[in-house]
Amino acid sequence: MGRKNNTQVPDFILLGLTDSEEIQLVLFVLFLQIYLVTVLGNAGMILIVRLDLLLHTPMYFFLSHLSFLDLSYSTVIIPKTLENLLSSAKYISYVGCFTQMYFLVFLGAAECFLLSSMAYDRYVAICNPLHYPVVMSTRFCCSLVFGSYLIGFADSFVSVLCISRLHFCDSNVIHHFFCDTPPVLALSCFDTHDIEIMIFVVAGSTLTVSLITISVSYVSILSTILKITSTSGKRKAFSTCASHLLGVTIFYGTTIFTYLKPSRSYSLGKDQVASVFYTIVIPMLNPLIYSLRNKEVKNALIRVMQKGECSEQLK
């Protein structure tokens, strides 16, 4: 069924996570609940930041774009995954597969540099608080966000262009639940070594530059915090970046494990588990990580709800 003799395939088959119908039903319910929480959490974060004037700061400006990226990331993957979990025909068109892959690379690379921008924002806020309003101006923040999207576009364009030039004459069965780069590369009937090196360089450069920016920022932040004499001052300074540091650790840990290795070393079990975590679970966790321990977000939510109640009463 999966073997092809032609030099190109009209569609692919997403093998999914399991063949068991019972487990597929359980996964459908679980993923649907996760997706609903993801949409509610990230869309809610975007709305709160926009509606509450006290959250119109650089940190929450970046956070609203992070929520947008996470919401988009989930929407690119989960609806198709839910459809395949209920369907016996797990097809995805050639164009649909590469469109999905394009947006995944685009959103992933953009999130890397957005997290770097957020780390730099925390560095300026803690290490140079007096210059913070000048350095983190609205224009500069918009430039950082635009640059993140631009780098994401460039990364995805190069990666998907390289892969789309391959011929998939061996098989059209993707051993994954979405069109990810390593399992699609593994289907090519030609040597993919040069393309793998190109993608590795592009992805590796993105991760390396963003990780260096984050690392340097947090080394400087830690150095500044250690110089603070009062315990309460240290605790307050650390609490402003703890949520971001946790989010960065989870995101980069799973991304490096999954992508910075040859596609031939792709492991069906381990890589699928990691993929579920960073494509489905992390977008749900991010709004929880950044809001549950954040009094400003909680207070903003209360203010927005009170404002809504007042508007209803006036009507």
Confidence of residue 2 (pLDDT cuts 50, 70, 90): very low
Dihedral sign from CA coordinates of 150, 156, 157, 162: positive
Those residues whose C-beta lies under 8 Å from the C-beta of residue 216, and which sit 6 or more positions away, are none
Confidence of residue 6 (pLDDT cuts 50, 70, 90): very low
Asked if residues 170 and 186 have their Cβ atoms less than 8 Å apart, the reply is: no
Asked if residues 108 and 279 have their Cβ atoms less than 8 Å apart, the reply is: no
Mean pLDDT check: name the lowest of 15-19, 31-35, 96-100, 304-308. Answer: 304-308
pLDDT of residue 21: 86
Give yes or no for residue 69 having a pLDDT over 90.
yes
Q: What is the CA radius of gyration of the chain?
A: 22
- Stronger pLDDT, 66 or 271, i.e. the higher one: 66
Tokens of 33: 């609940």
Residue closest to 157 by CA, chosen among 106, 227, 194, 115: 106
Confidence of residue 212 (pLDDT cuts 50, 70, 90): very high
Residue 50 belongs to some domain of the structure: yes
For residues 280-291, give the mean pLDDT: 86
Centre a 10 Å sphere on the Cβ of residue 188 and count the other Cβ atoms it contains.
18
Residue closest to 29 by CA, chosen among 105, 82, 80: 82
Residue 86 belongs to some domain of the structure: yes
Residue 63 belongs to some domain of the structure: yes
Residue 77 belongs to some domain of the structure: yes
pLDDT of residue 106: 95
- Stronger pLDDT, 7 or 307, i.e. the higher one: 307
Centre a 10 Å sphere on the Cβ of residue 276 and count the other Cβ atoms it contains.
20
Domain harbouring 211, CATH code: 1.20.1070.10
Beta strands in the chain (DSSP E): 11-14, 91-93, 173-174
pLDDT of residue 293: 61
Residue 111 belongs to some domain of the structure: yes
Rounded Cα distance, 240 and 215, in Å: 16
Residue 314 belongs to some domain of the structure: no
pLDDT of residue 31: 95
Confidence of residue 199 (pLDDT cuts 50, 70, 90): confident
Asked if residues 103 and 157 have their Cβ atoms less than 8 Å apart, the reply is: no
The residue segments making up the domain with residue 279 are 12-260+268-296
pLDDT of residue 232: 78
Residue 312 belongs to some domain of the structure: no
Q: How many domains does the chain have?
A: 1
Beta strands in 11-65 (DSSP E): 11-14
Residue 16 belongs to some domain of the structure: yes
